[in-house]
Structure 1
């Protein structure tokens, strides 16, 4: 004789699974509820990185009035070249153009911040002497004893001071253009290493 087991039939539990459109609507509502400070734009690639707002000193090297000729006439703007640095070994240069000095200076400062270079120092001077040429500008930089100070012209002095160098000897040979000399100085300092190669 076969035994008949009591089979209990479990009632069907209705799942809370909603249709795809309802699921999408829930996601949209969640996104709307996200705090404003956590929202990022569509093309924001910062991935949560916060910009460091460092205090950089700046020195204007030159302000020039530049003109562009159009069919209807001339458009005059101002071009500003400046050096920015933290006096701790980081320095950069930037050029900006704008309708007024303030706008041009802002653009130049933004460019300089993006293109900062780290400079090798030995105490308050450079590790070794070097000669560098950029275009027609030729500069000679030499380390100096403590207390000597900065023996340099205006363009070289601006770059060297903002880099944090306090004792240095320099000589400009060739071009007297302040912009070219500043670029040559910055390039020369960026080539410095702890020891001469």
Structure 2
């Protein structure tokens, strides 16, 4: 990932975050005394206004696994550029075996995306986007690939600042 993510880190101080459960799984540890069951939960939190984070929680009970996931997600919040309810440009990313592709859509299209991607995109506040997941459908890797793609997004202001030119020059060549 080429983007410097340390700049986009966000503090949870006065944000009103909504959480979405992406996946919950029962995991088993086999010992000589038998099987020990616990739960693993992937949670995405966001303020639906450009801030999103994901976390993983593991515990013996479902509710405590989810709450641990929410706490973990709040520690990993990042800011993402959103332009009129959609993403600024096409973007693809890969994490593990999961590959994602996202494309901006016109107003009224809605979020056209699969389960794990949909949770991330809705939490970040995207209302119109065309998205496709290719390869693995593993929710862990899909969430990470989607966040990686969102972190590589740059709005016109960021492009103008990097190039050191006026905003109009970005669009008019």
Show structure 1 runs of 5+ residues with no match: 1-50
- In structure 2, the partner of 1:85 is 46
- In structure 2, the partner of 1:106 is 67
Deviation for aligned residue 1:123: 1.4
- In structure 1, the partner of 2:91 is 130
Runs of 4+ in 1 over 6 A off after TM superposition: none
Q: How does the TM-score come out when normalised to structure 1?
A: 0.70
Change (3 A) 1:82 1:144: same
In 1, distance between residues paired with 2:34 and 2:82? 50
2:132 matched to 1:166? no
**What is the number of equivalent residue pairs in this alignment?**
147
- Structure 1 SS opposite 2:25: strand
Quote the RMSD (CA, aligned, Å). Answer: 1.6
In 1, distance between residues paired with 2:143 and 2:129? 15
Deviation for aligned residue 1:70: 3.1
- Structure 2 SS opposite 1:64: strand
2:141 matched to 1:180? yes
In 2, distance between residues paired with 1:194 and 1:53? 24
Q: Which has the higher contact order (CA 8 A, sep 6+)?
A: 2
Q: Could you list the per-position Cα deviations for residues 155-196 of structure 1 after superposition, in whole angstroms to 9, with x for gaps in the alignment? A: 111100010011100111111222321211011101211146
2:15 matched to 1:62? no
Higher mean C-alpha deviation, range 137-146 or range 175-184: 175-184
Q: Choose between structure 1 and 2: higher strand proportion.
A: 2
Q: How does the TM-score come out when normalised to structure 2?
A: 0.79
Deviation for aligned residue 1:99: 1.1
